[in-house]
């Protein structure tokens, strides 16, 4: 699970959700949500709920937990498309820092600072062209 690295390049590929999580995690989540069946074990017909849950598990996982810390440190290499999409979409529609930070604290979105870094990077790429 910790060997799978996903990097955001400024756009989402068609199959970026499936590529961002290991197949074993997708199979486990599918078996939990849909029950053990051949369809969930073969990887065919993965539901959006399965993809979303697996992405959030991948994004919020940590190798070891610090004893005195109450927050989760997110690694950019394990940022999956869902939290990036949520952060960028909420910012584009509301521009509310508090809302993005609340979603980040819940483990559903990237942080506001990360959203700003992505927008800055995208703007710089446009200016370079």
pLDDT of 24-43, one tens digit each? 999 999 999 988 877 656 65
Higher pLDDT, 12 or 85: 85
% residues pLDDT > 90 (the chain): 59
Closest CA to 101 of 71, 123, 59: 71
**What pLDDT score was predicted for residue 116?**
97
pLDDT of 67-83, one tens digit each? 666 666 777 878 999 99
Higher pLDDT, 78 or 21: 21
% residues pLDDT > 70 (the chain): 82
Could you tell me the pTM of the whole model?
A: 0.83
Please answer whether residues 27 and 57 qualify as being in contact, where contact means their C-beta atoms are separated by less than 8 angstroms. no
**What pLDDT score was predicted for residue 45?**
76
**What pLDDT score was predicted for residue 80?**
94
**What pLDDT score was predicted for residue 91?**
98
Helix segments in the chain, DSSP class H: 16-19, 23-34, 38-42, 48-60, 81-94, 97-105, 112-128
Confidence of residue 62 (pLDDT cuts 50, 70, 90): confident
Quote the mean pLDDT of the chain: 87
**What pLDDT score was predicted for residue 31?**
92
């Amino acid at each position: 699970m910790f060997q799978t690295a996903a990097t955001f390049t400024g756009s989402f590929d068609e199959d970026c959700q499936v590529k961002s999580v290991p197949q074993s995690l997708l199979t486990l989540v599918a078996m939990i949500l849909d029950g053990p069946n051949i369809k969930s074990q073969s990887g065919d017909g993965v539901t959006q709920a399965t993809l979303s849950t697996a992405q959030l598990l991948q994004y919020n996982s940590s190798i070891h937990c610090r004893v005195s810390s109450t927050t989760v440190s997110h690694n950019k290499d394990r940022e999956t498309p869902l939290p990036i999409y949520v952060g960028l979409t909420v910012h584009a529609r509301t521009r509310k820092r508090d809302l993005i930070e609340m979603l980040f604290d819940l483990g559903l979105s990237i942080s506001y600072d990360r959203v700003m870094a992505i927008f800055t990077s995208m703007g710089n790429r446009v200016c370079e062209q």
